[in-house]
Chains A and B, each alone.
Chain A
């Protein structure tokens, strides 16, 4: 199993541009989530999904959209990038039963 994969690893955007961060998992996990990590802030939940077709907002959803058309994929869309969205983004997934989440390698995004 590849686990949780994320692309790209690095991205630089200009203010106002849009882009999609990709996340995929091959563990047949129902639950997937997106976090952003900022220095001194820990990880904050952006959006999450409890299954295909079901998504919900986390703590910091503004400026981001998600969709979940398949169990495997959970892309995160930045609608109009802002410098405040400069961060490291982690995707995570977990299966049923025990609540351990598996994290992807992260995407480092810089918005200028």
Chain B
């Protein structure tokens, strides 16, 4: 079965600290990769996505992610976090194949808390 692993369950940082959240997936074929963010009490919003091309993708609010195919990874980064980045972050993978077309497999999420 396909799986998506987020290794950090809860990350606590001070404002201006750098952030890196890990995401690994278990499928070896063509994948589309996403990071979603969920602010407290809100629904999921797309932060950034990777389909093809430059493996370094930039998203909203200063976030970026790097796709490393050899490591099956798609880590999320931000050079300097803000208090408003406090949220839960989900990595998701779409496997581009046949009957699973369109299905997203989610990681368990990483809760980020930023102290002012």
Residues of A within 8 A of B (CB): 31, 33, 35, 40-45, 48, 50, 56, 58, 90, 92, 94, 98-101, 103-106
Contacts and interface: CB of A to CB of B under 8 A. Distances in A.
Tell me the dominant secondary structure on chain A's binding face: strand
Nearest to B90: A42
The range of chain B's interface size is 20 to 34
A45 B100 CA distance: 12
16 contacts: A33-B104, A40-B108, A42-B6, A42-B106, A42-B108, A43-B90, A44-B106, A45-B103, A45-B104, A50-B102, A90-B44, A92-B104, A99-B102, A104-B43, A105-B43, A106-B43
Contact of B106 (A31, A40, A43, A94): A43
A90 B108 contact: no
Contacts of B44: 43, 90, 103
Contacts of A43: 44, 90, 104, 106
Contacts of B104: 33, 43, 45, 92, 99, 101
Nearest to B36: A103
B34 interface: yes
Contacts of B56: none
Interface of B: 4, 6, 9, 32, 34, 36, 42-46, 49, 51, 90, 94, 96, 99, 101-104, 106-109
B50 to A, nearest CB: 11
Given A42-B109, A45-B104, A58-B103, A103 B32 contact: no
Contacts of A90: 43-44
A87 to B, nearest CB: 14
Nearest to A4: B43
